[in-house]
Amino acid sequence: MKTTPKKSRWRSLIWLAVLLSAVGVGAFFYFNRENPPSYITAPVARGDIETTVLASGTVKSDNLVSVGAQVSGQLKSLKVDLGDTVKAGQLVAEIDSLPQQNTLRTKTAALAAVRAQKQAKEASLAQAELAFKRQTQMPRGDAASREDFETAEANLKVLRAEIAALDAQIEQARIAVDTAQLDLGYTKISSPIDGVVVAVVTQEGQTVNANQSAPTIIKVARLDRMTIKVEISEADVVRVKPGQRVYFTILGEPDGKYPAVLKSIEPAPESIATESTSSSTTTSSSSSTVAIYYMGVLDVPNDDGKLRISMTTQVNIVLAEAKNTLVIPSAALGDKNKEGRYLVRVENGPDKTDELWVKIGLNNNVQAEVLEGLREGQRVVIGKQVGAAAPTSTTTGRRGPPPGMM
């Protein structure tokens, strides 16, 4: 069927009308769209804020004791196993006591021998005293009588001196017996504290030598109360002091906070214990290249037994804190003037901001405490949208002078 020119013209007009309608609708939506703000804002809200010193710490036992042998010999029996709970005075190990028993018998016999010698000398002394007494009653006219008197007197003095020497030997023998009795008692090893066996160093049948060093049999630790040694850097140690509130976390419970109080700060680094006097000059000259840490001490209860020896902790020492105060993100803070106020941009209508000088309190580089200059509910600018134009800043009576002009 052949199309007439009149129909073709009408069809073209219809298509043109449809096209113009589509362009009109698109233009309407384009020019009436809501322009997104060119900046990112955050509200001024109430919350809690604190400034802290972050440090790492290590869990240690409140009281760790190495239970050792004070005499040499073979470990005859071990009465405890790893993890056992022990009481103070409880028998934990026993060393073969036969050598100590023999030594005690020998020392006791030596004491008895010296005492017998003293008794013999005392009998001789009694005879010498009688002889001397007789000589004092006899006339001393001739030389023979005088010589007998001097001999009797000398014998008496000698016997008295010998008895005095025997008294000293008896005392020495008595001390030797007491020492042997102590050594015999040392073969039975007891725990000095209440605690838990955390290490078994020497096994049954091993020989320990107390003459060279104090051999450790087991280690007993108190685990119901732990100590945390905190490494505080030299840059932060001047800001902390005993008595400050502390909380820490452990790797197994990163969301759980354990409260504590900073008990003390050691006056010198732990490395000073291994430094010699001769190397002090070298150490001081190289100290600038070595990180220095001072040990803070925390005492924490451990009734549930979650804390274990050598655990790593992340410790926060609270320097200052504020509750239910106005806070804003630290990213909202701009320049700082001579009076210590910060320039903050505050949203004021669509794509418009005011610049205010705000007094800031605590600032932990995440949040900042607002003391003056802002109200709850206002929104502060913390950044700019990617690719957006800068918002228009409105100069108002609330804006302060530029930095350095106040």
In a domain, 177, yes or no: yes
Q: Are residues 236 and 309 in the same domain?
A: yes
pLDDT at site 199? 95
Tell whether 152 and 112 lie within a shared domain: yes
User: Considering the domain boundaries, does residue 76 fall inside one?
Assistant: no
**Mean pLDDT, the chain, integer:** 83
State residue 314's pLDDT score.
Answer: 95
In a shared domain, residues 313 and 332? no
Residue 202 lies in a domain: no
Looking at the structure, tell me whether residues 164 and 107 fall in a common domain. yes
Considering the domain architecture, whether residues 316 and 345 belong to the same structural domain is answered as: no
Instruction: Report the 3 state secondary structure along the chain.
Output: CCCCHHHHHHHHHHHHHHHHHHHHHHHHHHHCCCCCCCEEEEECEEEEEEEEEEEEEEEEEEEEEEEECCCCEEEEEECCCCCCEECCCCEEEEECCHHHHHHHHHHHHHHHHHHHHHHHHHHHHHHHHHHHHHHHHCCCCCHHHHHHHHHHHHHHHHHHHHHHHHHHHHHHHHHHHHHHHHHHHHCEEECCCCEEEEEECCCCCCEECCCCCCCEEEEEEEEEEEEEEEEEECCCHHHCCCCCEEEEEECCEEEEEEEEEEEEECCCCHHHHCCCHHHHHHHHHHHHHCCCEEEEEEEEECCCCCCCCCCEEEEEEEEEEEEEEEEEEHHHCCCECCCCEEEEEEECCCCEEEEEEEEEEEECCCEEEEEECCCCCCEEEEEECCCCCCCEEECCCCCCCCCCCC
**Domain match, 315 and 334 both:** no
111-125, 327-341, 389-403, range with greatest mean pLDDT: 327-341
- Residue 301's CATH number: 2.40.30.170
| Residue that is last in its domain, among 305, 320, 335 | 320
74 domain-assigned: no
For residues 300 and 385, membership in a common domain is answered with no
Q: In this model, does residue 43 exceed pLDDT 80?
A: yes
Is the domain of 316 the same as that of 229?
A: yes
Residue 295: its pLDDT value, please? 94
Name the domain boundary from 320, 350, 373. 320
Number of domains in the chain: 3
The predicted pLDDT at position 6 comes to 55
Are residues 235 and 305 located together in one domain of the fold?
yes
Q: pLDDT by residue (tens digit) across 245-303?
A: 999 999 988 888 999 999 999 999 888 887 765 444 444 544 556 889 999 999 999 99
> What pLDDT is stored for residue 89 in this prediction?
93
Per-residue pLDDT, 147 = 75
In this model, does residue 19 exceed pLDDT 70?
no
Q: Do the domain assignments include residue 128?
A: yes
364 and 312 in a common domain? no
Kindly state whether residues 390 and 309 are assigned to the same domain: no
Model confidence pLDDT, tens digit, residues 122-176: 888 788 788 777 777 776 556 557 777 778 788 888 888 888 898 999 999 999 9
User: Which pLDDT score is estimated for 349?
Assistant: 78
**Does residue 263 sit in the same domain as residue 343?**
no
pLDDT over 70 for what percent of the chain?
Answer: 80
CATH number at residue 363: 2.40.420.20
Percent of the chain with pLDDT over 90: 57
Residue 386 lies in a domain: yes
Is position 180 within any domain?
yes
pLDDT band at 54 (very low <50, low <70, confident <90, very high): very high
Range of the domain at 176: 97-186
Where is the domain boundary, 294, 320, 346? 320
Q: Whole-prediction pTM value?
A: 0.69
Per-residue pLDDT, 399: 42
In a domain, residue 175? The reply is yes
Confidence at residue 348, expressed as pLDDT on a 0 to 100 scale:
86
Predicted pLDDT of residue 122: 84
**Does position 404 have pLDDT exceeding 50, yes or no?**
no
